[in-house]
């Protein structure tokens, strides 16, 4: 699809310039310096030749279509240039010029026009407002960056040109090679989804690194990302797309779900994307993935020539949820035999301050051979006898290579020769134990995700027609909030149990209904005018006798009538009392990623302790159980602490069914089952109260 962009035979630089201070000069110079093997055409009506290459005034004058035209002309000249390029048959475009959507309304309009022109002729476009692209395998450096990367296996997709430049500068100093680099700029056409798909297929790319500020489409991203991550690791740094001010303000709304941070976390986790928390971590992780095999598990051996950093590493390993592996008897014996007596042959393995390269080599060897070890961290501090360069070479030699080895050469000048040797031997190197451990943890998490079982989403048999009818009736009446019986009826159609209940217009009917349902019962005011029933005294629980029902009815009418004289009171609902533990099931539709499910224990656990779990729909049974387990209060559901054990599978099934409901009905914007009363295993949980919020526009026809 992107062949002309990635492997062009002819590249034109429109706006090529003789002035070395101009972007149009830098691009041409980079293409030339990079050793591009195809035909290079500077386009400039005012010049005869630039950098030794003959110029043409425009693409039409060239007489043949180019595969790639890189456009670096002032903003107002871009549209006619694009029209000309497309007319002349150019197969792909990169627009580095800025001043479009990011600048003002006029720029945004121009950008839309340009995208339309390209789309009409199926010409793919990178940018505008970008640094360009690089394909080291094709010796193509169509950027105006100051640093050129060496060839390697890491590819970069970035929404910020400045970050691309920074990455190139950084990669050069770390000897890290790149495969492809795409600066997406304003994403008028090509976006992260297109480029991830391309890189998934690209054999030269082993690891994908991304920098994102926003997504073109959350849905599509999740699909593409999961497909890509299933083939090779994708590490992404996502920063807030809102300004700090907006973000600060939004953190005060107290909304539990719907928070962008949570949504991205859930989406990345689902898709197998490795999320980097910062710029350094992005490359710490990418370097490890590019250079080393994935670990088979989380058991780590630490090798060190100094106690302190060994302890730091062990602390970090445990904090990260990995294990400082106990070494096998055989490993310990073999180390004891070959290392000095003072050396520690438990884990961390301390090869002592005067360790020579051979001691490191045999320790790495032993850890590689130990069946109980999945990954190795090797620490070196510059002590009096230390030979960093030779030690780096010895570590590289040491042992089989099927377990990842991460090096931590601490210090500065003194260990620099060692660092260079590590890079040359494809051993990732970190300046502190903590950073190495963070990178290793990301590798472990990704390896575990790759081994995940296939996801099977259960479809439950439900009465979808009934829900459609209720929703459209409410929407027709202009109601976007559904509560009470309608809400329960919707859920009943999705196989939720609801308490038995009946409407009563006066005290006699209330008693009659209570007798039919059986005591104890609850009484709730029936009125479209009252939203917060509890606050107004419109809910009375635990009524055990006809007398109590009668008293409750009269008092409720009297008191609410006094407080809200204008409210129309229809009567009351008499309901079977629910028993069991209160939990909350919820759903909020995230603008990017769609239905986000929520679970928490009722009341204070959610409202005060914020002890909630989120997951994006659709959800599987095991993911639903995982949601329950990820709350801190999970223990209370399992029968511990003198609490009654509740039916976990019933809760999981409820989450799956609201997942299905949210997927079936896009007009449902939010839903809350609060409380959902769950009893002991084998009993049916009941929806004690529920509320739906609808989006007024948009139909739900299947």
Phi and psi of 631, rounded to 5°?
-85, 150
446 forms part of the interface with its own copies (CB under 8 A): no
3-class DSSP state of 249: helix
A 10 A CB-CB count for 455 gives 12
Calpha distance 667→664 (Å, rounded):
9
> Does residue 120 belong to the site contacting its own copies (CB under 8 A)?
no
Retrieve residue 666's tokens. 């896009």
435 sits near its own copies (criterion: CB under 8 A):
yes
Cα separation of 227 and 196, whole Å? 9
Q: Is 19 in the site for its own copies (CB under 8 A)?
A: no
Question: Euclidean distance between the first and final Cα of the chain, in Å?
Answer: 33
Give the single-character DSSP code of 669.
E
Q: Any idea which residue has 């995700």 for tokens? A: 449
- Which CB sits closer to its own copies, 23 or 56? 23
CB of 170 to its own copies, least distance (A): 4
Site for its own copies in 406-425 (CB under 8 A): 410-416
Neighbours of 49 (CB within 10 A): 12
Binding mask 370-409 for its own copies (x = CB under 8 A): -----------xxxxx------------------------
- Asked if 105 is part of the footprint of its own copies (rule: CB under 8 A), the reply reads no
Q: Contacts with its own copies in 484-503 (CB under 8 A)?
A: none
Interface mask toward its own copies for 208-247; x: CB under 8 A: ---x-x-------------------------xxx-xxx-x
Our finding on whether 161 is near its own copies (CB under 8 A) is yes
How many CB atoms lie under 10 A from the CB of residue 75? 18
The single residue among 1, 33, 61, 248 that binds its own copies, judged by CB under 8 A, is 248
Instruction: Enumerate residues 122-151 that contact its own copies by CB under 8 A.
Output: 144-147
Q: Which is nearer to its own copies, 56 or 262 (CB)?
A: 262
In the complex with its own copies, which residue's Cβ is closer, 472 or 592? 592
**Least gap, CB of 342 to its own copies (angstroms):** 6
- Pick 66 or 678: Cβ nearer its own copies: 678
CB of 79 to its own copies, least distance (A): 20
The 10 Å Cβ neighbour count of residue 25 is 21
Least distance from C-beta 286 to its own copies, angstroms?
A: 15
Only one residue has tokens 């830098």, namely: 26
280 with 325: CB under 8 angstroms? no
Give the whole-angstrom CA distance, residue 95 versus residue 101: 13
> Any idea what the Cα angle at residue 165 is, between residues 159 and 168, rounded to 5°?
110
306 makes contact with its own copies (CB under 8 A): yes
Residue whose C-alpha is closest to residue 347's, from 319, 378, 391: 378
Instruction: Give the CA radius of gyration of the chain.
Output: 32
- The CB-of-584 to its own copies minimum distance in angstroms stands at 15
Q: Give the C-alpha separation, 233 to 183, whole Å.
A: 19
Please tell me whether residue 277 binds its own copies under the rule CB under 8 A: yes
Q: Which stretch binds its own copies (CB under 8 A): 108-116, 169-177, 287-295, 448-456?
A: 169-177
- What gap in Å lies between CA 655 and CA 452, rounded to an integer? 21
Cis upstream peptide for 603 (omega within 30°)? no
* Site map 176..215 versus its own copies, x via CB under 8 A: -----------------------------------x-x--
Which residue in the set 172, 227, 557, 648 belongs to the binding site for its own copies (CB under 8 A)?
172
Q: Closest CB to its own copies among 234 and 317?
A: 317
Rounded CA-CA distance 225/228 in Å is 5
Verify binding: residue 103, its own copies, rule CB under 8 A.
yes
Residue 317 binding its own copies, by CB under 8 A: yes
Q: Which is nearer to its own copies, 356 or 700 (CB)?
A: 356
Q: Which is nearer to its own copies, 219 or 635 (CB)?
A: 635
Strand partners for 380: 409
Q: Which is nearer to its own copies, 24 or 594 (CB)?
A: 24
How does DSSP assign 617-658, residue by residue?
SS--HHHHHHHHHTSGGGGGGTT-TTPPP--HHHHHHHHHHH
The partner residues of 135 in beta bridges, in order of sequence, read 140, 180
> What is the C-alpha separation between 125 and 68, in angstroms, rounded?
10
Shortest distance, CB of residue 169 to its own copies, whole angstroms? 3
Which residues on adjacent β-strands are paired with residue 299?
323
Q: What is the DSSP string of 129-153?
A: SS-EEEEGGGTEEEE--S--PPEEE
Query: Closest CB to its own copies among 28 and 510?
Result: 28
Other CB atoms within a 10 A radius of the CB of residue 255 amount to 11
If binding is defined by CB under 8 A, does position 171 make contact with its own copies? Answer: yes
CB of 302 to its own copies, least distance (A): 8
The minimum distance between CB 99 and its own copies, in angstroms, equals: 8
Shortest reach from residue 658's CB to its own copies, in Å: 25
Among 220, 226, 280, 512, binds its own copies (CB under 8 A): 280
Number of residues that bind its own copies (CB under 8 A): 86
Say how many C-beta atoms besides its own lie within 10 A of residue 635's C-beta.
12
614-633 binders of its own copies (CB under 8 A): 632-633
Query: Least CB distance from residue 158 to its own copies, whole Å?
Result: 8
Near its own copies by CB under 8 A: residue from 230, 426, 432, 630: 432
Pairing of strands 234-238, 274-276: parallel
Q: Which of 23, 82, 552, 598 binds its own copies (CB under 8 A)?
A: 23
Query: Which tokens sit at 522?
Result: 């609850």
Q: Which of residues 319-358 bind its own copies (CB under 8 A)?
A: 323-324, 326, 342, 346-348, 353
| Among 35, 278, 321, 681, interactor with its own copies by CB under 8 A | 278
């Amino acid at each position: 699809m992107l062949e002309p962009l990635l492997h062009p035979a002819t590249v034109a630089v429109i706006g090529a310039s003789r002035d070395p201070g101009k972007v149009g000069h830098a691009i041409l110079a980079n293409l030339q310096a990079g050793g591009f093997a195809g035909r290079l055409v500077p386009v400039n009506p005012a010049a005869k030749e630039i950098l030794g290459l003959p110029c043409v005034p425009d693409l039409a004058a060239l007489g043949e279509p180019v595969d790639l035209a890189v456009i670096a002309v002032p903003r107002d000249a871009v549209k006619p240039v694009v029209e000309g390029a497309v007319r002349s048959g150019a197969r792909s475009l990169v627009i580095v010029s800025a001043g479009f959507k990011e600048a003002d309304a006029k720029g945004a309009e121009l950008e839309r026009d340009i995208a339309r022109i390209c789309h009409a002729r199926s010409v793919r476009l990178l940018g505008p407002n970008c640094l360009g692209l690089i394909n080291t395998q094709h010796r193509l450096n169509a950027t105006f960056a100051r640093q050129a990367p060496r060839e390697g296996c890491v590819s970069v997709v970035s929404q910020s040109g400045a970050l691309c430049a920074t990455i190139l500068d950084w990669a050069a100093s770390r000897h890290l090679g790149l495969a492809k680099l795409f600066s997406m700029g304003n994403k008028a056409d090509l976006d992260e989804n297109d480029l991830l798909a391309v890189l998934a297929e690209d054999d030269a790319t082993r690891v994908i690194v991304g920098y994102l500020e926003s997504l073109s489409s959350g849905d599509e991203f999740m699909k593409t990302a999961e497909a890509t991550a299933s083939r090779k690791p994708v590490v992404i740094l996502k920063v807030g797309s809102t300004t700090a001010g907006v973000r600060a303000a939004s953190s005060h709304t107290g909304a539990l779900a719907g928070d962008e941070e949570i949504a991205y976390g859930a989406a990345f986790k689902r898709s197998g994307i490795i999320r980097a928390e910062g710029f350094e971590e992005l490359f710490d992780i990418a370097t490890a993935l590019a250079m080393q095999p994935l670990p088979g598990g989380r058991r780590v051996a630490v090798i060190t020539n100094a106690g302190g950093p060994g302890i730091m590493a062990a602390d970090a390993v445990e904090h990260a949820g990995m294990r400082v592996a106990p070494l096998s008897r055989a490993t310990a014996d073999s180390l004891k035999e070959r290392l000095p007596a003072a050396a520690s042959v438990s884990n961390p393995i301390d090869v002592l301050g005067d360790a020579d390269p051979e001691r490191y080599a045999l320790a790495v060897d032993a850890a590689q051979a130990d069946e109980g070890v999945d990954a190795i961290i090797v620490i070196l501090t510059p002590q009096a006898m230390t030979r960093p360069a030779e030690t780096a070479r010895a570590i590289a030699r040491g042992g089989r290579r099927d377990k990842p080895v991460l090096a931590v050469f601490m210090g500065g000048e003194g260990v620099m020769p060692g660092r260079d040797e590590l890079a040359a031997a494809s051993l990732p190197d970190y300046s502190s134990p903590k950073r190495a451990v963070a990178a290793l943890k990301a590798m472990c998490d990704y390896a575990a995700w790759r081994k995940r079982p296939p996801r099977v989403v259960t479809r439950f048999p439900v009465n979808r027609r009934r829900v459609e009818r209720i929703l459209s009736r409410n929407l027709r009446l202009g109601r976007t909030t559904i509560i009470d019986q309608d809400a329960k009826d919707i859920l009943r159609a999705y196989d939720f149990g609801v308490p038995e209940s009946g409407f009563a217009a006066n005290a006699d009917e209330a008693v009659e209904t209570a007798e039919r349902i059986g005591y104890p019962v609850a009484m709730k005011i029936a009125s479209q005018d009252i939203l917060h029933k509890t606050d107004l005294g419109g809910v009375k629980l635990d009524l055990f006798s006809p007398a109590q029902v009668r008293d409750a009815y009269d008092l409720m009418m009297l008191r609410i009538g006094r407080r809200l004289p204008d409210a129309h009171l229809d009567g009351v609902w008499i309901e079977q009392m629910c028993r069991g533990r209160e939990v909350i099931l919820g759903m909020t539709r995230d603008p990017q990623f769609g239905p986000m499910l929520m679970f928490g224990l009722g009341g204070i656990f959610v409202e005060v302790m914020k002890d909630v779990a989120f997951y994006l729909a659709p959800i599987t049974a095991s993911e639903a159980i995982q949601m329950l387990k990820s709350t801190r209060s999970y223990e209370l559901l399992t029968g511990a602490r003198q609490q009654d054990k509740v039916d976990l599978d019933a809760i999981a099934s409820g989450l799956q069914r609201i997942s299905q409901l949210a997927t079936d009905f896009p007009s449902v914007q939010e839903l809350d089952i609060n409380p959902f009363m769950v009893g002991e295993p084998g009993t049916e949980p009941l929806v004690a109260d529920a509320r739906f919020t609808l989006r007024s526009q948009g139909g739900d026809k299947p």
